[in-house]
Amino acid sequence: MDTDGRQAEACTAAAALIVTFLVGAACRARSSKRPRPLPFQHDEVSGFDHLDGHAPRRGLRLVVVSDTHNFHHKLKLPDGDVLIHAGDFTQYGKEEHAHDFNQWLAEQPHRTKLVVLGNHENNSDWHKRAADVLSNATLLRQSAFDLQVPGSSPVRFFGTDFFWPCLGSNPYFDQIPAGTDVVIAHGPAKGCADGGRGCPALLKAVQNLQPELVISGHVHFARGAALLSGKSRSTVLVNAANCGSGKAERVLVSGPVVIDI
């Protein structure tokens, strides 16, 4: 078996990647406004602790993937309530890949499926009718989705189209409504699991809105998580890219990220 095959097989056999961090470390980070890296842990135990305890657990499990580049069939997804794909599910935006991805979505058991477009899809000739192509998910394009949670307040998701990093303001990020809990944007915010390639405008929007969670991908080698402290609450920013970097840029090397909120 070649190296790529072994990497793909290892990926499918691995347990889901879980985002975890210590509450004590999170508390120490409150005094700083600079993003603080958070460790990823390969573990069977799920968990995602709210560092400020500002809201009770809602009993909602998010299964997050990104940058699968037509390798979605090789993923082993755990059960969960919401499946999120943060973009680049195709290779070079080929429409046949998008239709295959849509069929794969139909086969997944998660009751809610949310998708945003990555740069590969955003440049395609079918992106204007992407909602029709991706009929088995809710496509978020500068739009919100409120998920009703029994016994709790709704969880508001907001997904954006892909934008290259903006040094100034980005009016599309200004459309993210106050009170959003989870922002899904293909490209990461500056300084937050971004490999030095993140967007300053998205960082500014996150600092102003202070959502609980920001989900991105795009920069494969920067897969990871960061903590950004705010005045009223802190935000965890996750880069969930599944394909590798360098020679492994088009090889699935990581499993999904599981986040309990």
pLDDT in tens, 164-187: 998 888 999 999 999 999 999 999
Alpha carbons 68 and 91: distance in angstroms, whole number: 9
Q: Does 246 have pLDDT greater than 70?
A: yes
Identify the domain containing residue 121 by its residue range: 3-260
Show the CA angle centred on residue 152, arms to residues 149 and 155, nearest 5°: 55
What is the CATH classification number for the domain harbouring 179? Answer: 3.60.21.10
pTM of the prediction? Answer: 0.84
Number of separate domains in the chain: 1
pLDDT in tens, 131-148: 999 999 999 999 999 999
> In the prediction, which pLDDT does 53 show?
38
